[in-house]
Amino acid sequence: MFKDPDIGKPAEQLRKERYERIHTAWTVGIPDRVPVNCPMGYFPARYTGIPFAAAYTDFNAWYAACEKTLQDFRPDSFGATSYQCGEAQAMLELKTMKLPGFGVNPYHGHQSIEIDGLKTDEFDLYMKDPTDYMLRVQLPRISDKLKGLGNFPPLYQLFSGPGAAQGLAMALSDPEVEEAIDLLRESGHKMRKEQDKQEKLWKLMESYGYYATRMVGALPPFDIISHSLSGMHNTMLAMFRQSDKLIELCDFILSEQLKKTPLVPDENGDIRIFMTNTRGIEEFLSKDQFERFYWPTCKQLITTLCERGATPNFFIEGHFDSRIEYLFELPKGKFTAGFEASDIIRAKEILKDHCCISGNVPVSLLQVGTEDDVIAYCKKLIDNVGKDGGFILSPSTSVEEVNPRNLKAMIEFTKEYGVYR
């Protein structure tokens, strides 16, 4: 019968061991055993039988669910949905997000929704002054409750000349502007009151031997445009109608990200950057489109962050099988590549020791397979991808709907079998 080696160890010792194990894998070395990562998401709610909505409405229940999950699973890294004030977010009536209990079934996860944002004829307007565009154009599109912000005069006019204070006073006294700002202020006050609860969750994680450090995000420019800024519909139109202007926008966003992405070391001195590749996969772009619109700025973003001492954790959604070789253009041993659906064994054969690889036990297998199925799949990954180190075993994506017994089998088998001898 499996006996978890982590049980009974002091939190400080666990933090040190887990960090050394994961950091060694990150740098394509051979740790004591294969690290097992688990992005929990809403899984603590499912595991304990409470609504997912508790992560937004019932801190005590969510805290207890996270503690129970920490006690029973103990992967090398643990990430659950943070506690947020659902009421505060619901007040804003954002068209881009629906939360459990606030537009979504309380027992289901949140939904991210794309809207048509930045239009193809507005690229120059955005690049001229992104702050002005976001305040006066994009926010009113994201929520009808914020339409009043569109009444603001252009910021370059408002904050120039000796009459700036008077102009600002007049702008803020516009009834529709005032209504939008009052709503934002009320929502912000509610969010602020809940901040100490998230601090308690971080302390709980630390007490179980985990680092509760937030990871900075820096998405590839094309993803920023096609996800939240413009939407895929407008981006597709721009690819065919204003291709040069789309490339110019990608370059502009790259420059802005490299200026503004905070590079703050964590308690171990690491600068961790999380990024996803969603739209650069085979499901969205042809190889020619990938090479023209996506990869140049994505490559420059990752390369520059590496040169500045950061470790980008690049999670590749969907299928990237025909594009694995592009990763050789990134600095060796300075980034990690996580694969959701690509053939991870083939990726290891190609990349070898070029970068740390993580993934990719299918969540479908964890949800409907047997424990023996899960163990067999993990063994295959450890034997093939874990050979010679540089590998972190993890589910293909969030585990909020999986069978708890299968998740436990994945973690325990990796701890027992994945030892380097």
> Is the model's pTM score more than 0.75?
yes
Query: What integer pLDDT is reported at residue 286 of this predicted model?
Result: 97
Phi and psi at 276, nearest 5°, equal -115, 155
Give residue 257's pLDDT: 95
Q: Angle 55-64-109 (CA atoms, 0-180°, nearest 5)? A: 25
Residue 105: is its pLDDT beyond 70?
A: yes
Determine the structural domain holding residue 166 and report its residue range: 115-193
| Average pLDDT over every residue of 64-75 | 96
Residues 155-196 pLDDT 10s = 888 887 788 899 889 999 999 999 999 999 999 999 999 999
Q: Is 412 exposed, middle or buried (0-12, 13-18, 19+ CB in 10 A)?
A: buried
Residue 186 lies in a domain: yes
- Residues contacting residue 366 through CB under 8 Å, at least 6 positions apart: 374, 395, 399, 402, 403, 406, 407, 410
Residues 238 and 232: their CA atoms lie apart, in Å, by 10
Residue written as token pair 């994505």:
298
Contact 96, 115 (CB under 8 A): yes
Domain-located, residue 158: yes
Asked if residue 183 belongs to a domain, the reply is: yes
Which residues are bridge partners to 310 per DSSP?
Answer: 271
For residue 275, which phi and psi values (nearest 5 degrees)? -150, 150
In three-state secondary structure terms, 412 is: helix
Q: 80 pLDDT exceeds 80?
A: no
Tell whether 136 is covered by a domain.
yes
The mean predicted confidence, pLDDT, of the chain is 95
DSSP 3-state of 338: strand
Average pLDDT for 359-385: 97
**Structure token digits, residue 177:** 């502007």
In a domain, 130, yes or no: yes
Take residue 286 and report the two structure tokens written for it: 């042809």
Is 163 part of a structural domain of the chain? yes
pLDDT of residue 158: 83
Q: Is the per-residue pLDDT at 213 higher than 70?
A: no
Residue range 382-411, pLDDT digits in tens: 999 999 999 999 999 989 999 999 999 999
**Predicted confidence (pLDDT) at residue 311 exceeds the cutoff of 90:** yes
Q: Could you tell me if 336 and 314 are in contact, meaning their C-beta atoms sit under 8 angstroms apart?
A: yes
Q: How many domains does the chain have?
A: 1
Q: Is residue 60 part of a domain?
A: no
